[in-house]
Amino acid sequence: MGKISQGVQEGRYAVIPRTVIFIIRDDSVLLIKGASTKRIWPGKYNGVGGHIEKGEDVVAAASRELKEETGLTIKQLSLCGTVIVDLEGNTGILLFVFRGGYENGELIPSKEGSLEWIPINKVDLFPVVEDLPFLLEKVLAVEPGAPPFSARYSYDEAGALHIDISS
């Protein structure tokens, strides 16, 4: 059939795909504290994740990022939601939000930052990225087999985050 343009046009809204993964063990969540050398969110706690590379599907990308940043291999990652992050101009981020249960394995830190099991009920005591409390709450609320949530982030002129939830 050949290569099809899929309607890609310069100037049309485009997104950069990324993943974030929350691994749950008992009443704790695995978070990464961003290395001081990171360009964005140094010293802030976040879920594990990163960019989706060309040729990867979203689950493969999430599994790869998890392995690279933690050393863990989780057999079952569940898609819990998607978030569109509107940025300036015609570019945004499409974030695929996953959850997995800790199975076994030793944590192996990476250059991305240090790994910590944080009690879920104490996450608010740590310096977390701005949307982490929202994402973690949504991830924990998604029942197995339930449809994923859908949200959109935007920022106002003062730089404040606004979250719109579709489901």
User: Residue 4, class by beta-carbon neighbours within 10 Å (0-12 exposed, 13-18 middle, 19+ buried)?
Assistant: exposed
pLDDT grade for 145, boundaries at 50, 70 and 90: confident
CATH dotted code for 14-165: 3.90.79.10
Cα diameter, the chain: 55
pLDDT grade for 148, boundaries at 50, 70 and 90: very high
pLDDT grade for 1, boundaries at 50, 70 and 90: very low
Question: Any idea where the domains of the chain sit in the sequence?
Answer: 14-165
As beta bridge partners, residue 32 has 46, 115
d(CA 9, CA 25): 44
CA torsion sign for 61, 63, 65, 68 is negative
Q: What is the pLDDT of residue 36?
A: 76
d(CA 62, CA 91): 22
Higher per-residue pLDDT: 167 or 102: 102
Residue holding tokens 């140094």?
A: 42
